[in-house]
A and B are shown apart, each in its own frame.
Chain A
């Protein structure tokens, strides 16, 4: 499951839109990742600030 660096996350939700398993959800300043995450790393490649890590 991907790791979220909450000090870096801009909570823009951009990663949610590229997650193929719909594992990411953003509400206000809280990005959450569900069990559906399969570590594909697409969100990591997208993140503008490098807040995500496989």
Chain B
């Protein structure tokens, strides 16, 4: 088989890319190694309503498991700071439904999908990529002018194309999650728990869904004394008031790339979503960024295919577009992340005392300038200011 564009991976990034490419009249085939799109998830399923609206992305109502008013953050001792109001609303998705909807949108535009189809190798031949595949019909090859690598944290496409998609343990959360029924928490908010004994260099979360809630955490190996799984069991044990009558209905785990190293394009290849490590370094959310990267990649793909120039130089325009939109913000958030990684539990308590919900929202938006002003106002916060500046 020979196609103009092959998308490898049918998550939010892959299906968004497929929809955008197919709607431009580009011949698009999507392969997905799993036998079901969207499952098992490796994700807490939260998205910001504001970020989706900004991109004009519509989510089918059946894909929304719960509408969320805001977030409640808890210090190690249990001090609570609530973030709510404009811009802080969100959805907790049912990814299985959400992703099948995205695929259906791409199929509606003319993309063809092959599932339970694994790419096993990819080589460059006469200015095209030859991809070896395996599925129920046996082994085959697909030739493509352009390959979109939407194959997630496991990205093989990036490695086959010579890109450095290898993740580093220092910037890669080890995540564990139980989807639980019977959770006793305010289901209108997501709940985030901080502390070096709760989730070292990460946080624990409760994301409410229709009849259940995603209860999980992410830790960084350099700060962890045990497995993410052990931290999660401990978290559940220590919050009897929330989990006394709760049981898991699904268990998930996964890696979250919270820093971006790889180049996003090579000859005839563009990487989107987690494959390109495009995750918000502060909260680890990647769905909206993944979809946005695909919109940009499709735009560049259309021009490049018209010009019949799929060289790395040409496709790197995609990375430039991405950087223009996200680089400054991501760098600030990385700085904030490195500050948060220096905090001990006492520091978290101090922050819970001085920060309002709105302040935390500003920080997550990479608006940092007010923060230092706030820290230098009081001598008791000098320790925090020093950690921030170092």
Chain A residues within 8 Å of B, Cβ to Cβ: 10-20, 22, 25-28, 42, 45-50
Contacts and interface: CB of A to CB of B under 8 A. Distances in A.
Most buried by B among A10, A12, A19, A28: A12
A46 B176 CA distance: 11
A45 B253 contact: no
Interface stretch (B151-159, B188-196, B377-385): B151-159
Given A12-B252, A18-B166, 9 more contacts: A10-B253, A18-B168, A25-B156, A28-B34, A45-B221, A46-B255, A48-B176, A48-B228, A49-B176
Nearest to A42: B169
A24 B347 CA distance: 39
B167 A47 contact: no
A11 B175 CA distance: 13
Interface in B8-59: 33-35, 40, 42
A47 B254 CA distance: 8
A19 B168 CA distance: 9
Contacts of B172: 14, 17-18, 46
B229 interface: yes
Interface of B: 33-35, 40, 42, 118, 152-156, 159, 165-169, 172, 174-176, 221, 227-229, 251-255, 257
A17 B172 CA distance: 9
B33 A27 contact: yes
A28 B33 CA distance: 7
B257 A22 contact: no
Contacts of B175: 14, 48
15 contacts: A12-B252, A12-B253, A13-B42, A13-B254, A14-B255, A16-B154, A17-B167, A17-B257, A18-B168, A18-B169, A20-B166, A27-B33, A28-B34, A46-B169, A46-B174
Nearest to A20: B166
Most buried by B among A14, A45, A50: A14
Contact of A49 (B35, B153, B156, B253): B253
B225 to A, nearest CB: 12
B251 A17 contact: no
A14 B169 contact: no
B169 A13 contact: no
A25 B157 CA distance: 12
Contacts of B40: 11-12
B168 A26 contact: no
